[in-house]
Amino acid sequence: MLTTRFVTGAPNWLDVGTSDLDGATRFYGGLFGWRFRSAGPDAGGYGFFELDGRIAAGGMQTPEEQGPPSWTVYFQVPDAGAAAENSEQARGGVLLRPVDVMGQGTVAILADRAGVPFGIWQPGQRAGLDVAGETGTLCWVELHTADIAAAAAYYREVLGLETSAVSFPGGSYTCVNPAGEGEEAMFGGLVPLAEDPADTDAGWLPYFAVDDADAVVARTTELGGTVRMPATDIEGVGRVARLADPYGARFAVLKPMPRGA
């Protein structure tokens, strides 16, 4: 599971681009208890979703021409420029060249071989999120993709990620962790689209930890969101549901299985 002990290759930030920032603030506030705080007059409308005063995610209102509302996951890199070059050499792309963000760090948006966008963040004054792995915060990420092998090769070249297969009743799961950090540092997985009827589009899916997945599913519909996969028990993992906010941004929630269960 994710923590704020950020290391190279691990997720250290995420944000949502939405067509209605006020509406998204109401939705995620009602779901996770987040409050929105502007990053200031020079931030172009960007701001932070905070949980008890700690930054749990970022958010901004985006125009229609930038694509549909969605969550973007960012991964820590020591050199954003080098990572962008590596993406192109690994047959991926660069959607936004590295840009300094007011001394806080350097950001870029890349695309993998399948065209899936994701972010990279080279820390400056800010390492990343203030909180992760707790209730109401990011705890896991998954890449849903048509080609597991190609994705694994790309992210190994660009972010240094390592993969390993984990068996469970009925199948196996490809986990990912930062290079040299071992299984204890697993933060996500790679999921074949063909095995997941709930998804038809490739992309990174963020998971937020919750205390009661069923209650969050019910609350999602009350707040105008969509249930893409109802709460389901996954042996050895916990109870999972896949959802979308009222504007179409996709995410998932996880009630983790207690340690030792």
pLDDT tens digit string along 50-95?
999 999 999 999 999 989 999 999 999 999 999 999 999 999 999 9
Rounded percentage of the chain residues whose pLDDT exceeds 70: 95
pLDDT of residue 236: 80
pLDDT digits (tens, 9 = 90+) for 151-199: 999 999 999 999 999 877 667 899 999 999 988 899 999 999 865 555 5
Q: What is the mean pLDDT of residues 35-62?
A: 96
Q: At what angle do helices 148-159 and 80-89 cross, to 10 degrees?
A: 150
Distance CA 33, CA 51 (A): 6
Q: What is the 3-state secondary structure (H, E, C) of 17-35?
A: EECCHHHHHHHHHHHHCCE
The answer to whether 139 and 207 have CB atoms below 8 angstroms apart is yes
- Is pTM beyond 0.75 here? yes
pLDDT of residue 224: 98
Q: Which candidate, 202, 182, 194, 205, places its Cα nearest to that of 254? A: 205
pLDDT digits (tens, 9 = 90+) for 139-156: 999 999 999 999 999 999
| Sequence-separated (6 or more) residues with CB below 8 Å from residue 75 | 9, 10, 11, 12, 118, 119, 120, 121, 159
| Sequence-separated (6 or more) residues with CB below 8 Å from residue 257 | 236, 237, 238
Distance CA 239, CA 224 (A): 22
β-bridge pairing 203-209 and 70-76: unpaired
Distance CA 137, CA 12 (A): 12
Q: Which candidate, 66, 62, 72, places its Cα nearest to that of 20? A: 62
Q: Which candidate, 33, 60, 52, places its Cα nearest to that of 208? A: 33
Q: Which candidate, 143, 169, 150, places its Cα nearest to that of 75? A: 143
With 0-12 CB in 10 A as exposed, 13-18 as middle and 19+ as buried, what is 24? buried
